[in-house]
Amino acid sequence: MLLVIDAGNTNIVFAVHDGTEWRGAWRLATSAQRTSDEYGVWLEALLTRAGITPGQVNRAVIGTVVPAALYHLRRLCREWFDSEPLVAQASLDWGFEIKVDNPDEVGADRLLNALAAHNHYGGPLVVVDFGTATTFDVVDSTGAYLGGVISPGINLSIEALHQAAARLPRIGIGRPQAVIGRSTIPAMRSGIYWGYVGLIEGLLVRIEGEFGAPLKAIATGGLAPLFAEGTTQFTAIDPDLTLDGLRLLSLRNSPPPLPRDRARFIETD
């Protein structure tokens, strides 16, 4: 079985794939201070509830945009699952070209989305990921990664609006039925939701125009279904694209060897 760990800025998702299907997926708030033992105790209980013992997990893969979290996640894999994790990075075999100025600067999640999206839907396409940042990533017909766009995520925008304007409250995200709000909170909700729909639609049009050919648009991330309700631009909604990208990456690359001495507990990256 394969343990898949997707560590984002806001949440870490742990999932297990048995080679045929996903056996479970669990989410935890990201914290660089959380230790490998804290992860281990929490995850072991969830695996047991899903009918999986830690000994059944024999491979692990990590994708992270939070370097500070990697140390304890790597120790989790080594000490609790006796596996040296494959860590997603540009130098691995992705099966496609990374056609940007500096491939090492590209977030692992963006490459993972490109890998899974092209595998499932073919190209050319653009992946819109609703995470801490909202990203647009372009993939050509061969699967090559061409770059994209990074904009502030929806929750960052909500928090910034509340922090910067003393009289504006913190609001939740939802789809308002009316664009014109008749009081402060409905007006804020409209601006956030329909403003983001406008951003999505406008950028997709401009990206496609610059690319010079029609592009499929794939939405992913936890808020993808919500924003897909407000536009007809998306070809597919696939909230678990990053997880499947990690699974596919692990199939393309051999797992690193697990050191059998105390040196394995020393972080060298």
Calculate the alpha carbon distances from 32 to 28, 69, 72 in Å.
12, 5, 8
Q: Are 70 and 64 contacting, i.e. CB atoms less than 8 angstroms apart?
A: yes
| Residue 269: active-site member | no
Calculate the alpha carbon distances from 35 to 76, 97, 107, 189, 221 in Å.
8, 36, 23, 38, 26
Helix, strand or coil, per DSSP, at residue 163: helix
Distance of alpha carbon 236 from alpha carbon 250, whole angstroms: 24
Q: Are 137 and 150 contacting, i.e. CB atoms less than 8 angstroms apart?
A: no
* Structure tokens, 186: 């409905």
Q: Catalytic: which of 109, 129, 140, 244?
A: 109
Calculate the alpha carbon distances from 209 to 82, 88, 123, 161, 217 in Å.
49, 31, 16, 31, 14
Q: Length of the chain, please?
A: 269
Which residue type does 71 have?
Y
Residues annotated as catalytic (active site), given as ranges: 109
